[in-house]
Chain A
Amino acid sequence: MAHAATGHLETSTGLDNRKLLMWFFLASDCLFFGSFIAAYLLYRDRSLVGPYPEDLFDIPFTSVSAFVLLMSSVSMVLALAAIQRGNVRGMRIWLFTTAMLGTLFIAGQAYEFTEFYHEGLTLSTNLFGTTFFVLTGFHGAHVTIGVLILLSLFVYSLRGGIQQKDSLNVELAGLYWHFVDIVWIVIFTLIYLVQP
């Protein structure tokens, strides 16, 4: 892993296989989320009974959630920049910040789901409930996995497991985290802001 930081290794492509695999995964995950977003858009105004999106969506609240996740991408990339400079302490601080912002986003989503449930929307209430909960639920699951990865890296670094030469580990976690962020950028616009 001597050249992990540059992404150039002794492989047939000159690229790190783990990074290549991560991009394969992200490309496939595009279709995973694309399918759920497409399903939501397809069935959006076909619910026969309420509640409907316009009855439930709280745009100011979701805007704050979107902002939190967006800022977590900034802290994630600062963690990578820190470890690439050999600043392990800085990386730890930014990794932990990112994990906390991710946790805050998840807490917001849990609150939103609870509110929707109290308003009468469940997974089986109508097409809106089914497509909305499946889409945002899977996104929330991705964020949760991301938080666990970040906390694992944080704990691993406390035990001295991550040095400057291991920056690719942080970069791979960052790629996953930024992907989760761009998925939310699309969801926030197409699901919350753009109404039929």
Chain B
Amino acid sequence: MTLADYRRQRGEPLFDEQAAAVQHEEHHPNAFQYLQIGIILFVITAIEVGIYYIDMSHDLLVGLLLALSIAKFSLVVLWFMHLRFDSPVFRTLFAVGLGATLALFTVVIAVSHGGLV
């Protein structure tokens, strides 16, 4: 028996539909906010390409590029894919996939630096 069947048997509401709809409307960004985020993404990309041509230490360059990339990634995932506003279930699902990928990266880097490959 699913949770929905159980609630239906007991005559309980499956969820507060009205509250859910209102919450959804309140929290989703509007077109203007999406455009603002688009401009921020454009600026970050321009900075990325700009610093690529600046003469600086390799470690600093890599650190800056990774930080800017993470910022862009987060903006798209949280706002455009609505993970910031949607159910935590989706956040958890994506976090598991992303976490497994980061674990894979860590192993690869460790193996590579350990001279095993």
Instruction: List residues of A whose CB falls within 8 A of some B CB.
Output: 3, 5-8, 10-15, 19-20, 23-24, 26-31, 33-35, 37-38, 41-42, 59-60, 63, 66-67, 70-71, 73-74, 76-78, 81-82, 84, 171, 174-175, 178-179, 181-182, 185-186, 188-190, 193-194
Contacts and interface: CB of A to CB of B under 8 A. Distances in A.
15 contacts: A6-B17, A8-B20, A27-B96, A27-B97, A31-B100, A31-B104, A63-B45, A70-B45, A74-B34, A74-B38, A81-B31, A171-B82, A182-B72, A182-B76, A186-B73
A11 B109 CA distance: 42
Interface of B: 2-5, 14-15, 17, 20-21, 24, 28-31, 34-35, 37-38, 41-42, 45, 48-49, 52, 61-62, 65-66, 68-69, 72-73, 76-77, 79-82, 86-87, 89-90, 93-94, 96-98, 100-101, 104-105, 108-109, 111-112, 117
The 8 A-B pairs at the shortest CB distance, nearest first, are namely A27-B97, A34-B101, A74-B38, A12-B2, A30-B97, A189-B69, A38-B108, A12-B3
B37 to A, nearest CB: 8
A190 B45 CA distance: 14
B35 A42 contact: no
Contact of A189 (B24, B34, B65): B65
Which of B21, B31, B72, B82 has its CB near the most chain A CB atoms (within 10 A)?
B31
Contacts of B61: 194
Contacts of B65: 189, 193-194
Contacts of B72: 70, 182, 185
Contacts of B52: 59, 193
A31 B97 contact: yes
Contacts of B42: 67, 70-71
A34 B69 contact: no
Given A42-B117, A74-B35, A185 B73 contact: yes
Given A7-B24, A20-B89, A41 B101 contact: no
Contact of A7 (B14, B48, B87): B87
B65 to A, nearest CB: 5
A71 B45 CA distance: 11
A50 to B, nearest CB: 21
A67 B45 contact: yes
B117 to A, nearest CB: 6
A196 to B, nearest CB: 9
A41 B17 contact: no
Contacts of B38: 70-71, 73-74
Nearest to A3: B17
Contact of A78 (B31, B77, B81): B31
Which of A13, A29, A74, A76 has its CB near the most chain B CB atoms (within 10 A)?
A74
Given A3-B21, A15-B89, A74-B35, A189 B104 contact: no
